[in-house]
Amino acid sequence: MYFYYLEYFSYLCTRLSIEADGHVVHHSPPSRERTSRRRPNAGCGRRASGIHRMNEEKDMKSLQESEVKYGSCQKSEELMQSLDAAASQLTADDVAYLERVEQCQIVMDKYYAPKEFILKVNSIPTLSIGDIHMVQAQAKQGKTTLATILVAACLCGKFGVVEYALDRDIKIALFDTEQFEYDTFIQYRNMLSMGSVEGEDFRRLIIYNLRRYGYEERLQFIKDVIMREKPQFVIIDGLRDLIPDINDPVGCPMLVQEMMQLASEAGCAILGVLHNNPGEGKARGWLGTEWINKCGYSFELEKNGSVVTVKTPINRGAPVPDWQFTFGPDGRPTCDSSFLEHRMKIDNEKIKAEKARNQAIEDDKYIEPINNVLWEQGKPMTKTSIANILSEKKIVGSTKALEIINRLLDREECPFSMVGTNITIKRESTGDKIF
């Protein structure tokens, strides 16, 4: 019944557009193209005239089909009587329902703007406008640095593999909820410097430190700024400071829902920054779970030495490839591939050396038990014999014992002496074998 009224009112509105002389009055919607991008064309007047005639024919055909279904209204009095009669059958609840249906129903004859993305990573779009997104990682893994890189890419067009995807400039708002004011200022300065901002372009980026406010004040301030300043890219660093209990089963879903509605209503991408649970790869608390479930894209950071790998495990489009950044000699982030290779090589050498040191410390624990076995036997012994005795004494398994003995014998300063292929105790003062 409701859809009958919707269709009937559409017909009545078409009738209202008929003037006394029978011509259709067209109220064309504004062009979807921006005015600044339009170009004069000598033939545009003729095309517009042709489109106008096509629209008239389309409307008249629709009108004729509707008159067959609902009857013709030749006079304005009859039209108003029909309108009054139809309206009198609707209650206030009916009208409210029909308004909601018109707002929410997806139909084929309505234009829907395609989704826009703020950035691209290796030409793959990411960070869609109108959605919420997340940056997650353990503490001190580079979350704030990633936010700085993303903003710099928006300001200068490209930073490493991260490229700006829009064909217009946008306003960016960043909310810092936890850092000291001076640290926020340094971050702001780095963003402008890395983004090569000159002149009045710095006004595209607005940044706020909300450490002084409580939970409710922070959230309200963020909403006020978004609705008044109309930024299209919003970063909240960090989400945890917007709600007292990140495991609140009621408050967390409400906060996520509020941010989703805000992103849709204001037409912006909201990127939230949140820590992972210690020792896990999951975002903290109920808040992290709810945000991840609703977000369009999530960035997850893994730090290995001085190189940070950025992954996008959650995406609502094409998979986004992993990419990396590190810190240059000046302490600022860089995505330069040659420098990344250099730092990874240094990091691998450090990791290898650290692993060798830790292994040596572990192997040193078995030098005394091996010497005790040699003293008990009173003669040189093969590696296998020593390993079997260590296993019988339940000190270490025979296979692992052989690995330990081989590593000890490979040292520059071996703690044992060799007699052919046998092992014996080394005299500490001279290094000679004892027996």
Q: What is the pLDDT of residues 141-155, one digit of tens each?
A: 999 999 999 999 999
In the chain, the amino acid numbered 397 is G
Give the closest residue to 235 by CA, choosing from 164, 318, 177, 183: 177
Which residues are 302's β-sheet partners?
A: 309
Strands 233-237 and 172-176: parallel
Distance CA 430, CA 42 (A): 103
Distance CA 240, CA 255 (A): 11
Please, what is the end-to-end C-alpha distance for the chain in angstroms? 106
Distance CA 397, CA 411 (A): 22
Instruction: Tell whether the model's pLDDT for residue 384 goes beyond 70.
Output: yes
Indicate the pTM of the whole model.
0.71
Which residues are 135's β-sheet partners?
A: 273, 299
Distance CA 315, CA 296 (A): 6
Q: Grade residue 420 by pLDDT with cuts at 50, 70 and 90.
A: confident
DSSP state of 231: -
Over the range 323-344, which residues count as b (16 or more CB within 10 Å of their CB) and which as e?
bbbbbeeeeebbbeeeebeebb
pLDDT of the residue at 298: 95
Question: Taking a C-beta distance cutoff of 8 angstroms, is the pair 3, 10 a contact?
Answer: no
Structure confidence by residue, pLDDT tens digits, 134-190:
999 998 899 999 999 999 999 999 999 999 999 999 999 999 999 999 999 999 999
Angle between helical axes of 367-377 and 398-409 (0-180°, round to 10): 100
Identify the structural domains of the chain with CATH numbers, from first to last: 2-28+44-104 (no CATH), 117-348 (3.40.50.300), 365-425 (1.10.10)
Instruction: Tell whether the model's pLDDT for residue 358 goes beyond 80.
Output: yes
Give the closest residue to 241 by CA, choosing from 284, 206, 290: 284
CA distances from 177 to 145, 219, 231, 259, 377 (A): 15, 10, 18, 16, 69
Distance CA 362, CA 356 (A): 10
Distance CA 379, CA 386 (A): 11
In degrees, rounded to 5, the angle at the alpha carbon of residue 30 between the alpha carbons of residues 28 and 35 is: 140
Reported as type and span, the H/E element at residue 347 is helix 337-364
